[in-house]
Amino acid sequence: MVQRDLPSTSERQPVIGVSCHSASGMSTTALITQLRMLGAVPVILDWKNADAAQDATHLDGVIVMGSPPDMNPAEYGHAPHPQSGKMLGNDTPVFVDPKRADYENTMIDAALEHGVPLMSVCQGFQRLNVRLGATLHQHVPELLHSEDEYPTCQVQKNIPPFTPTKWIGIKQDSQLGRIATKHGYFAPDSDASVDEDGVIWHYDNALHHQAVQMAGDGLMVNAVSEDGLIYGVEADPEGKYAGQFILGIQFHPEFSASMRSLDIMAAFAEAARDYAREHPHEERLRDGVHVSEQPSERSWSNLAKIPDTFITDAQKIRDKSLGKVMMPPSFDRTL
């Protein structure tokens, strides 16, 4: 493995704003841990009270995370599906807080306008595309005619998020493809296999029941799952955001279900570091951002216990999955 040089301690650390459902959630805690490890200064954005456009001027990178409640389909002009907003077991639909939706929409707009590195994950990935004109499949199991095979929301099957369950085909000639094939901090080349059509096969988690129907305006598809769902987008090199670091992914890299996910996080941190070098204003300080609560000590403690708690069951699930799927499957989709 070729090791990249770690960031110099004399450099200003990039300030990365994280918009999330809960500061103490497992996903947020895992994300903050990785960003700190990569030499960044993560701050959890206060979407309940803050001005997103103002916050964006103090950030070197933006991450829009997922959420247990679904997006309100009214945001993309659709009537709700019977399962929309009900994945938490509630009888009446519950959707993302409108304040959070407004804040994240404005933050996405500001990041795109100013070229701030932007990564969107799971529902954040869906929001990015919807903001740029896309729509969603509101209940993927119905679309795939299956509630059991290759579950899209694996935690509902008691499969932990640290366990990969789905093959994802990545377009080799893409920003994500270059990340997946480049020697990085963590993963050797053997971690991703490339088929005869030049598709890089990546094995990762799946924590969703909705999916993007098409890439948003100015974006291009860079990854498709084994069952034909869009799993990644980035700036179209011939579109209006050409040259910007924009990465939207349906899977959760913060859970490190594969070593390649760690390299995705490292690539984003590197892009934020480059942006920080190009924008050395003293005003770009953590104190300039409206910050919500940070993960508690209890959250860090719980996260530290998770791998030990999950490792036996996760290994059994992984072995069982690999016994069924030894090689990436083929599907007739054009990336």
Q: Using 50, 70 and 90 to split pLDDT, how confident is the model at 26?
A: confident
Handedness of CA 236, 216, 20, 303 (dihedral sign): negative
Name the helix (H) or strand (E) containing 291: none
Say how far apart CA 163 and CA 254 lie, in whole Å: 12
Highest mean pLDDT among 53-57, 118-122, 137-141, 304-308: 118-122
Is residue 40's pLDDT more than 50?
Answer: yes
What was the pLDDT predicted at 300?
Answer: 40
Is residue 312's pLDDT more than 70?
Answer: no
Q: How far is CA 119 from the centre of its chain?
A: 6
Global confidence as pTM:
0.81
What was the pLDDT predicted at 326?
Answer: 33
Average pLDDT, the chain: 78
Is residue 7's pLDDT more than 50?
Answer: no
Residue pLDDT, tens place only, 269-294 = 999 999 999 987 645 545 556 566 55
Taking residues 167-190, report their average pLDDT.
74
Q: How far is CA 210 from the centre of its chain?
A: 14
Whole-angstrom CA distances from 191 to 34, 151, 186, 259 are 20, 23, 10, 7
What was the pLDDT predicted at 153?
Answer: 64
Fold classification of 15-324 (topology level): Rossmann fold (3.40.50)
pLDDT above 70: percentage of residues in the chain: 73
What was the pLDDT predicted at 261?
Answer: 84
Residue pLDDT, tens place only, 192-230 = 567 777 788 887 878 888 999 999 999 999 999 888 889
Both tokens of 75, joined, read 């945001």
**Burial grade of 280 (CB within 10 A; 0-12, 13-18, 19 or more):** exposed
Neighbours of 310 (CB within 10 A): 16
SS3 assignment, position 78: coil
Say how far apart CA 96 and CA 90 lie, in whole Å: 14
What was the pLDDT predicted at 317?
Answer: 37
